[in-house]
Chains A and B, each alone.
Chain A
């Protein structure tokens, strides 16, 4: 659906995005993560053909955005972080204006359907300036979807929405995804990203430092699933017995709580843990299997990268001295 090859954008001496290559297929959702100022927005503007890359190219359906921007832009929908609207328009007029711009056939039926799905039908004839932040955000979704795009770019899609609206929007997004629309989601609300995306790309200082499925990313940074055990009491010797188990790769303790990091959660391993509990006469209050969430993975990846860069800088400094 969309593909970038060695996309680079420089502003004077500053490189905002460097050699970024990514691709998203039809019906795939891609989480585009990165700290503030990492180059996410610059990349999105280049994908939209609004910003011209210094080098590299963006292709949508095999065609370059720079050469056929009008046709290709019609295939893209955008929900920006901050909503932009015309003061003097009602929500209905606003959507109709964009439907005209995108040459949407049956625009009134489509607008009604979207207003209905987003719970805005009662307020469609109200001036947008009278809308709350959440309602404006939902109107942004209606605008982005009115022309049934094949690629939907979402920048902080759920910020400013209440939990009920988040569910409404999530269902709508999963629905359009199931119909073959590709999603590119950029957000800092990683718990929400986790629920929506198939693959994640992490951009840091203009470089795409990691790109994989959630499981692949965890594997990449060496994050493992873990069993979390809470005991009534446990002493140091007993903790050591758990640490000595052959399949336990790492152990973390916090008062009477143990985190046993393992590669696989098998019945055999659980049986061994059970025997050890019985042998040590321990009282188990809680046993839970956990896996690292996207937030932990993101922090590990960006921190590791930061350390690598810092190491490179210090080693260069030492050499210079």
Chain B
């Protein structure tokens, strides 16, 4: 690819991402989601502190971990949803076709959206870092360097979720369909992980015989979960965070690289899909 074309592609990406970022910050959605996620994170943090004070047991090695993960997941879900809906709407209202009449191609179109969402998340991340520092100072907690790895991993997870959203929009090219499929997929990923955890705990408490049907359910769920773990952005992030907290750097690096590979793969499939489908429905 020649230098001039790359420069022009970069220009198109920047123009599109600027418009998308402006649109996002003019709306109330992102501010509402950020407010809700900070309220939930604050409540979780206070509950954990109260529990620790009352029982003198530390539930997590890093007390900020769960509030920060929940905060990141909420913002990431919102951004992936909104990028998916906006891309699907571009197809529906024909503006995608209009953009392609000009100096833009399928790749720059998707990357423009992708980068705008990352940019918004980085701004949200700055707010999260500020909130974390305030909490640490006010509650007199220790500032652990692993916290910055959690921030980095939340960025990777968000990027992966946004790539999922872009893929769903590119395949369905319809707002309603993409929202339904994306929601079902996310519920499936989260549901399997949750069910696996619950059933595993139930089995250890209630099962008395080796032929108990609960054991079969646990084994099935564990098998599905072990497969999903390689794909689910939530699982990959949690695995990498746990590895970082335990300072097992090989697992941390492995999961982080896996997330990056999946991001590239998801974006490549999205670009290939919209190129193959063309500008109009056949």
Contact = CB atoms under 8 A, between A and B. Distances in A.
Interface string A77-121: 010101011111000000001101111000000000000000000
Interface stretch (B91-99, B116-124, B125-133, B182-190): B91-99
A78 B101 contact: yes
Contacts of A74: 102-103
Contacts of A50: 97, 100-101, 278-279
A11 B95 CA distance: 24
Nearest to A78: B101
A73 B19 contact: no
A73 B98 contact: no
B9 A70 contact: yes
Contacts of A221: none
Interface in B14-57: 15-16, 18-19, 23, 26
A50 B99 CA distance: 10
Contact of B98 (A71, A76, A84, A102): A84
A51 B5 contact: no
A102 B101 contact: no
Nearest to B5: A70
A101 B279 contact: no
Interface string B77-101: 0000000000000000111011111
Interface string A36-47: 000000000100
Contact of A84 (B11, B18, B97): B97
A131 to B, nearest CB: 14
Interface in B260-282: 278-279, 282
Nearest to A45: B279
Interface string B99-110: 111111100000
Contact of B15 (A70, A88, A100): A100
Highest count of chain B CB atoms <10 Å: which of A50, A80, A87 = A50
Contact of A70 (B8, B101, B278): B8
A266 to B, nearest CB: 50
A64 B129 CA distance: 50
Contacts of A69: 105
A76 B15 contact: no
B93 A70 contact: no
Contacts of B100: 48, 50
Interface residues of B, number: 27
Contacts, number: 63
B110 to A, nearest CB: 16
Contacts of B104: 73, 101
B76 interface: no
B95 A70 contact: no
Interface size class of A (residues with CB under 8 A): 20 to 34
A84 B8 contact: no
Contact of B102 (A82, A87, A88, A98): A98
A76 B104 CA distance: 13
Contact of A11 (B4, B93, B282): B282
Do most interface residues of chain B lie in helix, strand or loop, or is the interface mixed?
helix
Contacts of B16: 101
Nearest to B14: A100
B12 interface: yes
B23 A88 contact: yes
B173 to A, nearest CB: 15
Interface in A39-63: 45, 48, 50-51
Contacts of A103: 11
B103 A70 contact: yes
Contacts of B8: 70-71
Nearest to B94: A84
A88 B25 CA distance: 13
B11 A76 contact: no
Contact of B12 (A80, A85, A101): A101
Contacts of A82: 94
A82 B98 CA distance: 11
B279 A86 contact: no
B103 A73 contact: yes
Nearest to B98: A84
Contacts of A48: 100-101
A144 B103 CA distance: 13
A40 to B, nearest CB: 14
A226 to B, nearest CB: 43
Interface of B: 4-5, 8-9, 11-12, 15-16, 18-19, 23, 26, 93-95, 97-105, 278-279, 282
24 contacts: A45-B279, A50-B97, A50-B100, A51-B278, A51-B279, A70-B8, A70-B105, A73-B101, A78-B101, A80-B94, A82-B94, A84-B93, A84-B94, A84-B97, A84-B98, A87-B93, A88-B26, A97-B15, A98-B102, A100-B15, A101-B16, A101-B103, A101-B104, A102-B103
- Please give me the 7 A-B residue pairs with the lowest Cβ-Cβ distance, nearest first: A84-B94, A70-B8, A84-B98, A78-B101, A70-B103, A100-B15, A84-B95
Given A70-B105, A103-B11, 20 more contacts: A51-B279, A69-B105, A70-B5, A71-B8, A71-B103, A73-B101, A73-B102, A73-B104, A78-B98, A78-B101, A80-B94, A80-B101, A84-B94, A85-B93, A86-B95, A97-B19, A100-B15, A101-B12, A101-B103, A102-B102
